[in-house]
Amino acid sequence: IPTIIIDEHEAMARLVAGRIATLMRERAAAGRSIVLGLATGSTPIGVYRELIRLHREEGLSFSHVISFNLDEYYPMSPDSIHSYHRFMWENLFSHVDIDPGNVHIPDGALERSAIDDACGRYEAAILAAGGVDFQLLGIGKTGHIGFNEPGSGEHSRTRIVHLDSVTRRDAAADFFGEENVPREAITMGIATILQAREIAILATGEHKSGVVRRSVEGEIDRAVAATFLQRHPNTTFYVDDAAAADLT
């Protein structure tokens, strides 16, 4: 996976947001919509901050953006402080001119019996929108992209999954205790993610160095979901010095 080491987090955010803005402007000029695949978590916040700045100061419009988020906890009410719905509205959508009808985030408040159908509709909606043009990813310590934990196959699609104990431990602080972290999530699959035309995956901090090395240099293996990105023709890995420390 082509890797760009860029230690300054603001510079990394500007680079990635700049690429997204370029694609958005190209599409706007052609009078067409653009489909963005978006992630939550701490890593992409700087990218969203920069996109908001570009909207406010440089007139970047989101009126033709269609977005699909990777995942949501299950169960999870959309207005919970822990929900990825809330995260996206607070960190990006409320600050730009996106049409709320163009925002898609897996619904963590569904009855369990309704989940499979909703996952099928999520996949269909991505296809109907023309497929994801640009997918933004973070990576978990387990190597998950979205919530595709170890064992997730290359052909996996949007579905409900069990969260790995490592992932639940990493989320414990946000939830004021591991026992409050949901045990499941709804996530796009590996195949869903690999369908994107262009992918940027970001990792910062020394706690990600092992999994960055495994993802970039290791064998493709369902034990580390991010290794499947090696099969994608247009993925760039953005890492800071600490996350790059184990690369050879």
Binding window for ligand F6R (CB under 6 A); candidates: 39-47, 48-56, 116-124, 127-135 = 39-47
Binding window for ligand F6R (CB under 6 A); candidates: 8-16, 98-106, 136-144, 240-248 = 136-144
Rounded Cα gap, residues 29 and 32, in angstroms: 8
Residue from 71, 68, 51, 69 nearest 60 by CA:
51
Q: Which of 146, 149, 200, 243 binds ligand F6R (CB under 6 A)?
A: 146
Q: Which of 3, 43, 152, 195 binds ligand F6R (CB under 6 A)?
A: 43
Binding flag, residue 83, ligand F6R (CB under 6 A): no
Q: Do residues 62 and 96 touch, judged by C-beta distance below 8 A?
A: yes
Which H or E run includes 81?
Answer: none
Binding flag, residue 145, ligand F6R (CB under 6 A): yes
Q: Which of 37, 106, 140, 143 binds ligand F6R (CB under 6 A)?
A: 140
Binding flag, residue 16, ligand F6R (CB under 6 A): no
Q: Is 178 a catalytic residue?
A: no
Q: Which residue, 58 or 190, is less far from ligand F6R as judged by CB?
A: 190
Binding flag, residue 39, ligand F6R (CB under 6 A): yes
Rounded Cα gap, residues 132 and 196, in angstroms: 5
Those residues whose C-beta lies under 8 Å from the C-beta of residue 175, and which sit 6 or more positions away, are 82, 181
Give how far Cα 167 sits from Cα of 51, 127, 195, 207, Å.
28, 29, 25, 13
* Residue with the CB atom nearest ligand F6R in the bound state: 138
Those residues whose C-beta lies under 8 Å from the C-beta of residue 185, and which sit 6 or more positions away, are 71, 72, 73, 74, 108, 147, 160, 161, 163
Site residues (vs ligand F6R, CB under 6 A): 39-43, 70-71, 138-140, 144-147
Residues marked active site are found at: 149
